[in-house]
Copies of this chain bind each other. A is one copy, B any other.
Amino acid sequence: MRIAAFGEIMMRLTPPEYLMLEQTKELRLDFTGTGVNILSNLAHFGTQTSLLTNLPDNRLGEAAKASVRQLGIQDCWIGSLGDHIGSYFAEMGFGPRPTQVTYQNRRNSSFGISGASDYDLDAFLEEIDLIYICGISLSLTEKTREAALVLAEKAHKKGKKVCFDFNFRPSLNEAHGVSLMQEQYEKMLPYCDVVFGSHRDLTDLLGMELDQTLDVSEQFERVVRQFMAKYQIEHFAGTIRQGEGDRRYLTGFLFDAENYVQAAPRQIINLDRIGAGDGYAAGILLGYSESWSLVETVEFATANGVLAHTIQGDVPLTTRKQVKHLMEQPTVDLIR
């Protein structure tokens, strides 16, 4: 399956060795973004991947493309428009000090100012089998919202699989309020086959109601079933984070038309607190694209998500061999 993503390439600037911005003049530059992260991981798993986005036609655009290629992603559908790449600074936390992310101007980026007509969507869709769309496109600007919706509709019509990730961040939507956002999500969902989301997305954003007469765990399953039925969703997946003392655990869940599975929880040990979910999503998409069983898929995706936490930066670089090593020999901490 040829997998593509529609999304923004951002610059991530990170001080070394857990330093705060005032403490250093040295920064590490990475090119990142949900689409980049998931596609790169899939490329490392051996999948053919391609990113649809726009970049400025300048030295930063060239450097961004070089980075995307290095990650194993095809750059032939990256166009040129505008003169700005959105960026964020990540001051890495340690222990009780949180990682602090500071965004710089995303809305005026090349991606932010590009609408549907700024891409050759039809030609692009001919060359792929599944398109991943991140929910942030619905929040960022009117242009990105329109582009995402047109793309999803076209893909759906052409019989391509559409994978959508809620990724709803209230902080990006303070201006509009939840009701505008709900409307956009409701426009998008009918085109979708595979959806990543959480309990909160269904209740708080879409306004679905829980059946309080049921057990808590059954409430969740019931509302997901209603959601999947309403929008004809093939698979619904997501993660749950749990704490126990000062340890934290990751569990993934996955629904298809008939079944619901949950992975065995795995302890999270963080090298980098950002970009955790993308490793999980890449794992689910790998299993989906290769028709693995639900259990195989969710266990692999959860192990991959936990490994993503141990890698510097947002971009998971794991291979199948590495994920399987963790699943099969979790106590071997030195390979030679």
> Looking at A18, A84, A87, A96, which has the most chain B CB atoms within 10 Å of its CB?
A96
Cα of A23 to Cα of B273 in the assembled complex, Å: 17
- A174 at interface (Cβ–Cβ under 8 A)? no
Asked if B96 and A62 make an inter-chain contact with CB atoms under 8 angstroms apart, the answer reads no
Q: Which residues of A contact B (CB under 8 A)?
A: 13, 16-30, 58-60, 62-63, 66-67, 69-72, 83-85, 87-89, 91, 93-105, 108, 169, 171, 243, 246, 266-267, 269-271, 273-274, 306-307, 309-313, 317, 319, 322, 325-326, 330-336
User: Would you give the shortest CB distance from A120 to chain B, in whole angstroms?
Assistant: 19
Complex contacts, A99 vs chain B, CB 8 Å: 333-335
Asked if A59 and B100 make an inter-chain contact with CB atoms under 8 angstroms apart, the answer reads yes
Asked if B60 and A312 make an inter-chain contact with CB atoms under 8 angstroms apart, the answer reads no
Within the oligomer, what is the number of copies of this chain? 6
Asked if B66 and A72 make an inter-chain contact with CB atoms under 8 angstroms apart, the answer reads yes
Complex contacts, A72 vs chain B, CB 8 Å: 66, 69
User: Would you give the shortest CB distance from A81 to chain B, in whole angstroms?
Assistant: 14
Tell me which of B60, B101, B271 contacts A336 (CB under 8 A): B101
Tell me which of B26, B95, B98, B333 contacts A273 (CB under 8 A): B333
A sample of 9 cross-chain residue pairs with beta-carbon separation below 8 angstroms, ordered by A number, consists of: A23-B25, A26-B28, A26-B29, A58-B102, A83-B105, A85-B104, A97-B311, A98-B332, A100-B335
Say yes or no: A91-B59 contact (C-beta < 8 A), given A16-B17, A17-B16, A97-B311.
yes
Cα of A16 to Cα of B312 in the assembled complex, Å: 11
Complex contacts, A84 vs chain B, CB 8 Å: 104-105
Asked if A22 and B100 make an inter-chain contact with CB atoms under 8 angstroms apart, the answer reads no
> Looking at A22, A59, A269, which has the most chain B CB atoms within 10 Å of its CB?
A22
User: Would you give the shortest CB distance from A88 to chain B, in whole angstroms?
Assistant: 8
Complex contacts, A89 vs chain B, CB 8 Å: 59-60
User: Would you give the shortest CB distance from A103 to chain B, in whole angstroms?
Assistant: 7
Cα of A254 to Cα of B24 in the assembled complex, Å: 35
Tell me which of B21, B66, B98, B267 contacts A325 (CB under 8 A): B98
A-B pairs, 7 with minimum CB distance? A95-B269, A70-B70, A101-B336, A21-B63, A97-B310, A84-B105, A94-B310
Chain B residue with the shortest CB-CB distance to A325 = B98
Say yes or no: A312-B18 contact (C-beta < 8 A), given A102-B58, A108-B108.
yes
User: Would you give the shortest CB distance from A257 to chain B, in whole angstroms?
Assistant: 33
Asked if B70 and A334 make an inter-chain contact with CB atoms under 8 angstroms apart, the answer reads no
Asked if A326 and B96 make an inter-chain contact with CB atoms under 8 angstroms apart, the answer reads yes
Say yes or no: A96-B267 contact (C-beta < 8 A), given A25-B29, A69-B69, A317-B20.
yes
Additional A-B contact list (9), CB under 8 Å, known A20-B311, A21-B60, A99-B334: A13-B13, A20-B317, A59-B89, A84-B104, A95-B269, A97-B326, A101-B335, A105-B108, A273-B333
Complex contacts, A169 vs chain B, CB 8 Å: 336
User: Would you give the shortest CB distance from A108 to chain B, in whole angstroms?
Assistant: 6
Cα of A30 to Cα of B21 in the assembled complex, Å: 11
> Looking at A62, A267, A309, which has the most chain B CB atoms within 10 Å of its CB?
A62
